[in-house]
Amino acid sequence: MGEQAAAPAISEEEAAQYDRQIRLWGLEAQKRLRASRVLLAGLAGLGAELAKNLVLAGVRALTLLDHRQVSPEDARAQFLVPAGSLGRNRAEASLERAQALNPMVDVQADPEDVAQKPEEFFARFDVVCLTCCPREVLLRVDQICQQQGVRFFAGDVFGCHGYMFADLGEHEFAEEKMKVAKDGQGAEDGPQVKKAKLNVAETTTLVKKRMAFCLLKEALSINWNNEKTKTSLKRIAPDYFLLQVLMRFRTEKGRDPSPQSSREDAEALLQLRTDVLGSLGVGTDLLPDDFASCCFSEMAPVCAVVGGVLGQEVVKALSQRDPPLNNFFFFDGMRGSGVVECLVPS
């Protein structure tokens, strides 16, 4: 879509439905959400969390895209798929429950493969979010989205670890700033000054700002051999390098690490750590030896956290309210902590 469609008026029914959100981020922001079309590719556990959050937020339309079939693995975290759906298309199986969350949102299912979609397909949307995709698909769609002026997000959950990435291009947003006005200004000293400190009036104003984002390809291809990046290596979350290893595994194996082949996959991950970190020009010590034991399957609590952050960032991008996260968010479920990393080419 490039430029977002004009924001329609909010009906009385919608005002009642979204009353809490309107109070939180304002009527104009909610109008922008109600004019937005979102594509969500990948309906595993993280995709289900994100679909729920976007439908409840009140976007205009949400397209669920997935060519895969429901598998026994989906029972761990995919709550949109009803019992007895084994073998059905995952997007179509998720449709009914997703739509029931908010009948005001137009939810559709597309059973095709995102990798086979032509460039013009993505221009229909204001936001494209990919999960469960190989690296080459992520890079291709991100490039298309930046050319089309479409906001791009990616995310995944691997066992106890999850991430999200945002590329909003040249993004404009409004940030709320507090203004403090004191009575009795000008008094040099004495009782009037003390009284003024107790009589403070607080008001807010919206300040327009702009933020630039880079492509995912650039964020994954940082040169770690110059002096500036070398000094920052120890401060970078190890999950950044873990993501690179897991992306390589997904590309080479055509799947994610599986509990059914945990020993074999753990050995493969350790070998890939050596290969991938070596190709990046960094030491294997940046990724602890025990990393391979925590990358199997999707854990529902990790999906909930990453899906919550990802949903929040999509809402912020569409409503153009508040500073977005630029550009990675990593969550470590073992430690129960998340970190934002701004990783851009120097």
pLDDT tens digits, residue range 319-328? 998 999 999 9
Say yes or no to pLDDT of 189 above 70. Answer: no
Residues 49 and 142 in one domain: yes
- Does residue 175 sit within a domain? yes
| pLDDT tens-digit map of 190-212 | 555 555 554 555 677 889 999 99
The reply to whether 127 and 25 lie within a common domain is yes
What is the per-residue pLDDT for 201? 53
SS3 170: strand
Count of domains in the chain?
3
Whether the model clears a pTM of 0.75, i.e. scores above it, the answer is yes
Q: What pLDDT, on a 0 to 100 scale, did the predictor assign at position 112?
A: 98
Q: Is residue 109 included in any domain, yes or no?
A: yes
Q: What is residue 226's predicted lDDT score, i.e. its pLDDT?
A: 81
Domain boundary among 294, 314, 332: 294
């595994």: which residue's tokens? 249
Sheet-wide strand order for 61-65: 106-110, 61-65, 37-41, 127-130, 151-158, 161-167, 328-332, 337-341
188 pLDDT more than 80? no
Q: b/e per residue, 3-27, with b = 16+ CB within 10 A?
A: ebeebeebeeebeebbeebbeebbe
Contacts of 197 (CB under 8 A, 6+ apart): 182
Within-domain flag for 38 = yes
| 177 has a pLDDT exceeding 90 | no
- Between CA 240 and CA 170 the distance in angstroms is 24
In 3D space, the residue among 128, 127, 49, 40 whose CA is nearest the CA of residue 81 turns out to be 49
Q: Which of 211, 240, 266 is the last residue of a domain?
A: 211
Answer yes or no: is 2 within a domain.
no
Q: Is residue 346 part of a domain?
A: no
Same domain, 152 and 27: yes
290 Cβ contact list (under 8 Å, min separation 6): none
Q: Say what the pLDDT of residue 300 is.
A: 95
Does 327 sit behind a cis peptide bond, omega within 30 degrees of 0 on the bond before it? yes
pLDDT in tens, 9-40: 777 777 777 777 777 777 788 889 999 999 99
Q: What is the mean pLDDT of residues 45-68?
A: 97
Shared domain check, 223 and 122: no
Is it the case that residue 147 has pLDDT exceeding 60?
Answer: yes
How many Å apart are CA 272 and CA 249, to the nearest integer?
A: 7
Q: What percent of the chain has pLDDT over 90?
A: 73
| Residue 270 confidence class, pLDDT cut points 50, 70, 90 | very high
Confidence band, pLDDT 50/70/90 cuts, at residue 183: low
Enclosing domain of residue 304: 12-169+300-341
Among 6-15, 188-197, 309-318, the least confident range: 188-197
104 assigned to some structural domain: yes
* pLDDT above 60: residue 244: yes
| Residues 319 and 193 grouped into a single domain | no
Phi, psi of 276 (to 5 degrees): -70, -50
Give a yes or no: residue 5 inside a domain. Answer: no
Give the domain-ending residue among 192, 211, 230: 211
Distance CA 312, CA 89 (A): 27
**Average pLDDT of every residue of the chain:** 89
Query: Sign (positive/negative) of CA torsion 329, 144, 66, 97?
Result: positive
- Is residue 35 domain-shared with residue 123, that is, in the same domain? yes
Instruction: Let me know: does 210 contact 164? Beta carbons within 8 Å.
Output: no
* CATH number, domain with residue 62: 3.40.50.720
183 and 269 together in one domain: no
153 in the same domain as 29: yes
Tokens representing 245 are 């290893």
Q: Give the pLDDT score at 84.
A: 92
Cβ 29 vs Cβ 319: under 8 Å:
yes
Q: Would you say residue 70 has pLDDT above 80?
A: yes
Same domain, 92 and 192: no
- Copy the structure tokens of residue 12: 């009385």
Band of pLDDT at residue 230, cut at 50, 70 and 90: confident
Band of pLDDT at residue 48, cut at 50, 70 and 90: very high
Q: Considering the domain boundaries, does residue 268 fall inside one?
A: yes
> Average pLDDT of 233-251?
94
Q: Are residues 191 and 249 in the same domain?
A: no
Q: Are residues 60 and 185 in the same domain?
A: no
Query: Is residue 114 domain-shared with residue 193, that is, in the same domain?
Result: no
